[in-house]
A and B are shown apart, each in its own frame.
Chain A
Amino acid sequence: KAGVTQTPRYLIKTRGQQVTLSCSPISGHRSVSWYQQTPGQGLQFLFEYFSETQRNKGNFPGRFSGRQFSNSRSEMNVSTLELGDSALYLCASSVDQETQYFGPGTRLLVL
């Protein structure tokens, strides 16, 4: 089976812009979770989608949003980018909240 794919792999944006990241889960996986990784902070949970519904949400501001499509692909959107949003954004898929399998991540740099 193909693994989790994320696009784009790298992105450079400026403050105030918005960005959309994409994640394609492993075939058959219906749960998709998003994480932000910054140095020294580990992986911070953003949100989880299951069958097109947001099932869990972390403590991030409303500028961070997501959605999931009927084919389980998911997108994450960040509006009004801030310098502190520079991070590695990871997507993980699972059958249903079991072991999560991660994609390679999207590295976002906000200038």
Chain B
Amino acid sequence: DQQVKQNSPSLSVQEGRISILNCDYTNSMFDYFLWYKKYPAEGPTFLISISSIKDKNEDGRFTVFLNKSAKHLSLHIVPSQPGDSAVYFCAASATGNQFYFGTGTSLTVIP
């Protein structure tokens, strides 16, 4: 049972435009969410997190939005750069429990 879903396996965006990556979850007990970026042959790199008490968190070009009623979170990258091309994973957990990861979205930023 996939509790965290990323329904878009891939996304292509022009350099300088906005990239929006989406993630849906089913467990209403999840209260902590993270986004990771992964390059081939490397482990995932932490990007940004958000707790359920917030609906937005911003760090430079990266902003995560959380819509608890819709059980949906999204990662916005503005402006997108070619170096952002990677696979992005969202993850969620309920306090004290394991993290559940989505299957990833492969982002390609076209120069």
Q: Which of A46-84 contact B (CB under 8 A)?
A: 48, 56, 58
Interface string of A1-43 (1 = CB under 8 A from B): 0001010000000000000000000000000010100001111
Known: A42-B89, A43-B101, A45-B98. A102 touches B44 (CB 8 A): yes
Size class of the A contact interface (CB-based, 8 Å): 20 to 34
Q: Give which listed residue, A45, A48, A98, A102, contacts B45 with CB less than 8 A.
A: A102
B46-A101 in contact (CB<8A) = yes
Which residues of A have CB within 8 Å of B103? Answer: 40-42
Interface string of B37-50 (1 = CB under 8 A from A): 00001111110010
A99-B98 in contact (CB<8A) = no
Known: A41-B103, A90-B43. A102 touches B36 (CB 8 A): yes
Q: Which of B85-111 contact A (CB under 8 A)?
A: 89, 91, 93, 95-104
Which residues of B have CB within 8 Å of A4? Answer: 43
**Interface of A, helix, strand, loop or mixed by DSSP:** strand
A58-B44 in contact (CB<8A) = no
Q: Give which listed residue, A40, A45, A92, A107, contacts B100 with CB less than 8 A.
A: A45
A33-B45 in contact (CB<8A) = no
Q: Give which listed residue, B43, B91, B99, B102, contacts A103 with CB less than 8 A.
A: B43
Expressed in whole angstroms, the Cα–Cα distance for A98 and B98 within the complex equals 10
Q: Is B75 an interface position by the 8 A CB rule?
A: no
Q: Give which listed residue, B43, B93, B99, B104, contacts A105 with CB less than 8 A.
A: B43
A99-B43 in contact (CB<8A) = no
The 15 listed contacts between A and B (C-beta, < 8 Å) are A35-B101, A41-B103, A42-B89, A42-B101, A43-B101, A45-B98, A45-B100, A48-B98, A56-B97, A90-B44, A99-B49, A102-B36, A102-B43, A102-B46, A105-B42
Binding site for B on A (CB under 8 A): 4, 6, 33, 35, 40-45, 48, 56, 58, 90, 92, 97-105, 107
5 additional contacts (CB under 8 A) given A97-B93, A105-B42, A107-B41: A42-B102, A44-B101, A45-B100, A101-B46, A102-B44
